[in-house]
Structure 1
């Protein structure tokens, strides 16, 4: 039997590489210990994107001194292939929500400056093509901090330059791009995102993703007003209005700026990475496909890697196992009719979220072992082998 292990990261708990290793350890303890196993750590543009593409791109991991969303020094990174002059950057490594504790979430202060620092480091390396994953950000600054780090200037109503642009987009009254790093014009920029939301409105950056980044319900209107003002000024500067373009609302409006100012091509993160890793070919080879992420819920159905992988597997009549730190009732309900799709939760009635986060790898290994053992007994359907 051939088994493909291709998990996403379990946000704040395990990288995709660590998750793949834990699942494989469980299989090696199970009745399927003699199976041929391949691991392909996955990502969809968020945390783990760099690690997922190191091997496929024959790249090295370059570390960069940068800052986190609230300005503290941290160590970021990007993948680099010298021969092809290709860099892969993930916003999560410098501007990610997992870099902050819950009580540190501050949408007014959080910025994408740190990601701009990493972008400049990639340009200094001589990058001619950059893949920028924008999932998992802690920001709603519309990418303004990123642009400022690369030379854009933001002016307030008194005509003064704003020192550090953040989520206070309503303070911006003028944007100047004459000093924007000229190397950006020559770079091919591919933006990897797992969402298609527009910039504004009930399905936009603030309304949908703001609350998880610390925006209070009563503050949504003010942040939305600031984002609209930013979009209006940007349209006047660039000569085109991309606020309704799919993906504009990704990463707190970062997608909008990358398209508007840098001509970034937004691609579905899972599709991009699956192409670069020859995932379809590996699914053809496998008999069982295993994936997972921190939580399987309704968002998993919209562009998330594990569900994209499961759909590819099911289309080829293969069995797919999806492990989740937690699995929502809505996810279970929506997958009831998929006989060859088996969701497995790491959290049960005696496991708290805190315990699961602290012991994620151990719980995932145990779940892998138990699920494979149960498959072998025939208690779970595996039509091709039982």
Structure 2
């Protein structure tokens, strides 16, 4: 999946470099209005008349690294156990050459795979449930919760916003709404983050739609009303505002990429079901991000604010949003467990 920019062990967007011609060509200026239909792509956690809060680019695919890392580490540990057993049996069977091959070649490879699986798990577990971004319409400041727990605050008008691209082995080229913090020369990138990420299946047109959703909130005189109305009528807000997402949403969110095609959810149930379980584990083991006092002080909302909207205002998840994915999760995890059991019994 697409984990571009993940800042664990120095994997992140390239910085301390010059803007490229392509970035300049595909720039979204703060005053530019998109003619595309607005879409928020399930990225909003909260909206008020003062600010809007968004999730990070890794939130939609959370859980993938957890289950994949667990599968990789578990399989490798099992193979290591077999090699240790063979270590005691090979001399008695007169297979000393095979013993040395396992010890010198195969065992280090398996131990490396165990480390790799642990590294994948660590990119999601024991960290933060998500990395929020708060765009304050009144102060015109953007607050970004970094992956190390610190907070970046930068003026909205100073951001260089452009179409970002990344390459991932499984999803190919992906697109996001990339924001650069520039040096005083106006051309050197010092920090980068993603303002909007439709999904691994999104395209360049998807970014136009997200910009058509986000830009009016910060720029249009009636932006708050338009954004509130769009969210009120358009679907769900992400249920991580001051809390960890529950297991129901972990299942629903994992299957939402294939929401228009229930048959595809069924066929992909082993993959999507494992992702749902991995997502639950990642959420349960991670901390809820908290904004520092100075950010909260500038984000105070009046009790009478008519434009407050959170996950508490969501409609209940229905059959196709929750219960069908729940059935698919049970079938998928059961299928995976059956395959693993068969392999173990025949080995």
Is the shorter-chain TM-score for this pair beyond 0.5, marking a shared fold? no
The structure with the greater share of residues assigned to helix is 2
Instruction: Answer 1 or 2: higher relative contact order, Cα 8 Å, separation at least 6.
Output: 2
Per the normalisation by structure 2, the TM-score is 0.27
Which protein shows a greater Rg?
2
